[in-house]
Amino acid sequence: MTTQGPSADVSASQRRLRRPLDGASIRDMGPPSSEVKGRPTAVRPDARATYGSARSATDHRSVRPGRALRRRERTLHPGAWWVWALGLAVAAARTTNPLVLGLLIAAVCLVVALRRADTPWARAFRLYAVLGATIVALRTAFRIVFAGGGPTVLFTLPRLAMPESLGGVSCGGPVSAEALASGFYGGLQLATMVVCVGAANALANPKRLLAAVPGALEELGAVLTVAVSVFPQLAQSVERVNRARALRGGAGGRWRVVRQVLMPVLVDALDRSVELAAAMDARGYGRRAALTTVHRRVTTGILLTAVGALAVSAYALLDTSGTSAWVGGPLLASGAGLACVGLWAAGRRSVSSRYRPDPWGWLEWVAAASGIAAAAILARCAATDPVMMFPAPIPQAWPAVTGAVVLAGAIAALPGIAAPPPPLSTSRGAP
Amino acid sequence: MIRFTDVTIRYAGAHAPVVRDVTLHVGEGEFALVTGTTGCGKSTLLGAASGHVPHFTGGTVSGQVTVGGLDTRDHRPRDLAHIVGVVRQDPLAGFVADTVEGELAYGMERLGVPPRTMRTRVEETLDLLGIADLRHRTVHTLSGGQAQRAAIAAVLAAGARILILDEPTSALDPGSTEEVLAAVLRLVHDTGVTALVAEHRLERVLDYADRLVVVEAGRVRSGPPADLIAHAPLAPPVVELGRLEGWHPLPLSVRDARRAATRSGLPARLAATMPRQPAADAGSLPGADRDAHGEGLVARGIDVDYGPVRAVRGATFRLPAGRVTALMGRNGSGKSSLLWALAGARTPSAGTWSVNGVRLNGTGRAAMLAAVRLVPQEASDLLYLDTVEAECAEADTACRSTAGTCRRILDRMVPGIDPAMHPRDLSEGQRVALVLAIQTAANAPVLLLDEPTRGLDYVAKAALTAALTRLAAGGRAICVATHDVEFAAGVAERALVMAAGEVIAEGPAAEVLAGSTVFAPQVAKVVAPAQALTVAEVAAALRPRVASSDGAP
């Protein structure tokens, strides 16, 4: 599956050849489903065939003549995107410098803009961006309301002291530039992490990610997959019932309207889930290999020990007194090791196999490594140059960056070019 | 392959067993058709064969059920997944993966089939069911027939040698039904798969069945279809025609019936007694309507758009008062869109429509509801109260009719529904009747029904036909969108056919339906060129002839 086109691909040609995302999403919206059964499709079948997934090695249509410049489409392993995004989130945790954080956000947004498909979860990236902006705004607003002191007072709000019973918190008072800046820095750090997680969500197909969970957890994965698909169905159900409500007429209060919609939707959802459970049962969900009692007990023992070790190590690592810190690291490592062994042993109970698992090629390594490298560089910077990474708030100090940080930002943005373009979804996604 | 030995099934809390003392054997490679009225225990019987009953539903099963040599007592449905494949009425509700290919692989993944074998089996099964071009499609974008074939492919790929199909075609249009049944039959004939199929529309499958299993009040009889069908509670029109004419053996297919009819000279006799009706069609000649009920609904140039897609284009037609009109056409041809637009629940982009001369477009919701009422395809979407009584009372209040109106209408259609029952516990036919009663209580001059026969057996369909005929006789204009050609033939005087959003045919049902290759009911095919659509019409046409021939020796 690593039959990539010329990787020395410049972004200009990328831009030129990229399908217009917006056009695709308009075409993808389709009509509101009026006929429950009819399902008039807005997507022409031929269009779908043309944009057919390139995941299939046997799918010859995906090799298009006359588009030699265009790289072969495929989706990156969802795990690679998650490693990359979590690496950047860890990197963001290592700094409060707004310039560094801004650089990370820019890198993340660039990659998402270049490499997301037209799937419903990809469109949800905007929600994470909005959430991030809200966090920044809230953190800053809190600093204004619960005024933090500082030398550079910008303005003064009327003071309002809370009664002692509410903890004696005071509102208002002088608002300083330092307080505002530190509120903004803190908010931006959190927002960067949120955007990183949002990027992983936008770039990685959640269902493929769940399909890649270890054997012992695959049934949980199947349950989550189904849960993910339930939400669009619920939305569809609500829309349908709401329209049907108009057919019956009759006035009614707000509560009655809620009941008119909620009752049929909930009953419908219950019916569907029972039906689905029956279907999954009939198709072998939950089949188990026959294992000996000894094997089962040993597996349970290993897993319990692992959980215990992990819990104690977490306590030791978080213990601020420092007396037990030396056991934390080794205990964490052994707990994690035991957990892996336990999961492997438990996975042997499962008899299932995988159809076309997502390949992990060198491009996956590139994406994952770029996230880890960015995190490593910033961690190193934080250790050697704390003044730059944790600057005092404006106007005491103006944030600045070094070459190493710019390099980390560039590395973080690398998957935007290195990763293959995603195939346009063959699905219409959520109705 | 499937063997029931003295099986009695009883659900917890039920006073009587659902089925009792069933002894049944379906051999390898047989196509066994299960028939019976709604609630007779068909689904329970099918469920018992897949282990669904009692492992999933609860209840007590006595006796022994073995499938492919495995006793369902010791094997849960998941342990039978490599032998038995179950396909239900709504395949979408049972899909686990999001693409067709993933769905085919799902069952094999659970069984632990090695990846290489999986690849080849997926390809082979895609070809076997003719759905290779759908492999990357999201399951929710498939049409009904495609989804059903994908569901069959999915269980076959997992290695199932026994297919259990519970009303696989009841939600499909005639074309998709053929598609699915043809696929099943080919599987049975070419690959030796054993099929146990429950199906309401016997007329589609009876001819192909190796064995008929009749379930009646908990008792099960099985045997060759030709022997059993003579006394079965439900029979397709060709069989009824055969009973009427005293043909022996009873014909099971249009082909057999056509031969018997030619032998007995039935088309000629009918042609003699049924002179071609003059084209005095009330609908096609506005103004020449002799009905005193008003002109009904007149629509001109109606367009309905969903974003860039035009679902209905330029629909111009009439629904005359006092008549039932059948609206036919394949899935997605715009039938539902048109009905929803006429009912005022969706604003059309263009066109006008009026009821008894009163223009409706542009008027408010209340005026539309007073003039046009729609029973939607998912009729239960309209029900939200706890009891039938409460729903009826609510309907009376909402349309300011006298208390008890709705209940009276309901009782006339389906007598004896317990008023304290929860609407969800009603049978499919009773539920449609309840919603129909609620929508009729408003006394609107136009009544529209979208696919009301889904899941209804012959008995329930007959009750619905009677109810609609009576309502039409009361002066209402009624339009029924349906895929069920036999139902349409029985209920409708007029027919509209839609294709790709356009009304392509309008006229008397006898002309429109009898002349069609897809929409012609069985009787029409048998007695052609005489234009009769139902057994009742044939009987009525023959009766005076018998009387006159008796009177003039």
Q: Please determine, for residue A426, whether its predicted confidence score (pLDDT) is greater than 90.
A: no
- Whole-number Å distance between alpha carbons of A412 and A68: 28
Residues in B closer than 8 angstroms to A285, CB to CB, are 78, 96, 110
What is the structure's pLDDT at A48? 38
Nearest CA in chain B to A258: B384
- Whole-number Å distance between alpha carbons of B22 and B11: 16
Please state, as a whole number, how many other Cβ atoms lie within 10 Å of the Cβ of residue A227.
11
Tell which residue, A424, A409, A417, has the closest CA to residue A367.
Answer: A417
- Residues B387, B395: contact at Cβ < 8 Å? no
- Predicted confidence (pLDDT) per residue in A51-100, tens digit: 333 344 344 444 444 444 567 788 889 999 999 999 999 999 889 999 99
What is the structure's pLDDT at A275? 86
Q: Which residue(s) pair with B303 in the sheet?
A: B350
Residues in A closer than 8 angstroms to B436, CB to CB, are none
B107 → closest Cβ in A30, A240, A284: A284
Q: How many residues does this entry show for chain B?
A: 553
Residues in A closer than 8 angstroms to B374, CB to CB, are 247
Q: Tokens at residue A164, please?
A: 């002692």
Give which of B110, B131, B155, B397 to mutate to test A binding, by max A Cβ within 10 Å.
B110
Which of A124-133, A223-232, A291-300, B385-394 is the least confident region? A223-232
10-residue mean pLDDT profile of chain B (553 residues): values are 93 88 93 87 91 90 93 91 90 85 91 91 92 88 87 92 90 80 89 90 85 90 89 86 89 92 89 62 44 79 89 92 92 89 89 90 85 90 89 87 88 87 86 91 92 84 92 93 90 93 91 85 88 88 59 38
Tell which residue, B42, B37, B41, has the closest CA to residue B10.
Answer: B41
Q: Are strands B219-223 and B211-216 parallel, antiparallel or unpaired?
A: antiparallel
A243 and B119 within 8 Å at the Cβ level: the answer is: no
B384 → closest Cβ in A53, A259, A431: A259
- Whole-number Å distance between alpha carbons of B172 and B175: 8
- Predicted confidence (pLDDT) per residue in B265-290, tens digit: 888 888 888 765 544 444 444 444 44
Residue linked to tokens 């049924």:
B274
What is the structure's pLDDT at B278? 47
What is the crossing angle of helices B405-413 and B458-473, to 10°? 130
A282 and B81 within 8 Å at the Cβ level: the answer is: yes
> Quick check: helix, strand or coil at residue A391?
coil
What is the structure's pLDDT at A16? 40
B376 and A353 within 8 Å at the Cβ level: the answer is: no
Q: Say how far residue B507 (Cα) sits from the centre of its chain.
A: 23
Residues in B closer than 8 angstroms to A244, CB to CB, are 345, 376, 378, 381-382
Q: List CB contacts of A126: < 8 A, sequence separation 6 or more.
A: none
- Predicted confidence (pLDDT) per residue in B124-161, tens digit: 999 988 999 999 888 878 888 889 999 999 999 998 99
Please state, as a whole number, how many other Cβ atoms lie within 10 Å of the Cβ of residue A330.
12
- Average per-residue pLDDT for chain B: 87
What is the structure's pLDDT at A325? 62
Residues in A closer than 8 angstroms to B52, CB to CB, are 278, 281-282
- Predicted confidence (pLDDT) per residue in A326-338, tens digit: 777 788 888 889 9
A244 touches chain B (CB under 8 A): yes
Could you tell me the pLDDT band of residue A45, with boundaries at 50, 70 and 90?
very low
Q: Where are the alpha helices (DSSP H) in B265-377?
A: 266-273, 335-342, 365-371
- The arrangement of strands across the sheet holding B219-223 comes to B84-87, B162-166, B194-198, B31-35, B211-216, B219-223
- Average per-residue pLDDT for chain A: 77
- DSSP3 helix / strand / coil % (chain B, rounded to 5): 40, 20, 35
Residue linked to tokens 């803190």:
A186
What is the structure's pLDDT at B550? 43
Interface of A with B in 348-367 (CB under 8 A): 351-356
End-to-end CA distance of chain B: 59
What is the mean pLDDT of the segment spanning A304-316?
Answer: 87
What is the structure's pLDDT at A230? 72
Phi/psi for B195 (5° steps) reads -125, 135
A355 → closest Cβ in B78, B115, B171: B115
A250 touches chain B (CB under 8 A): yes
- Whole-number Å distance between alpha carbons of B166 and A275: 13
Nearest CA in chain B to A219: B110
- Predicted confidence (pLDDT) per residue in A247-270, tens digit: 887 666 777 788 888 888 888 888
Which of A148-162, A194-208, B418-432, B519-533 is the least confident region? A148-162
Please state, as a whole number, how many other Cβ atoms lie within 10 Å of the Cβ of residue B543.
11
Phi/psi for A213 (5° steps) reads -70, 155
User: Interface pTM (ipTM) of the complex?
Assistant: 0.84
What is the mean pLDDT of the segment spanning A214-228?
Answer: 74
Phi/psi for B499 (5° steps) reads -150, 135
Could you tell me the pLDDT band of residue A50, with boundaries at 50, 70 and 90?
very low
Please give the helix or strand (H or E) that residue B326 lies within, else none. strand B324-328
Highest mean pLDDT among A104-108, A305-309, B363-367, B415-419: A104-108
Please state, as a whole number, how many other Cβ atoms lie within 10 Å of the Cβ of residue A319.
13
How close A360 comes to chain B (CA, Å)? 17
Nearest CA in chain B to A281: B78
**Cα-Cα-Cα-Cα dihedral sign, residues A306, A311, A312, A314:** positive
Residues in B closer than 8 angstroms to A279, CB to CB, are 86, 88, 93-96
- Residues B250, B243: contact at Cβ < 8 Å? yes
- Whole-number Å distance between alpha carbons of A37 and B144: 7
- Whole-number Å distance between alpha carbons of A238 and B311: 22
B340 and A355 within 8 Å at the Cβ level: the answer is: no
Could you tell me the pLDDT band of residue A3, with boundaries at 50, 70 and 90?
very low
- Whole-number Å distance between alpha carbons of B63 and B33: 22
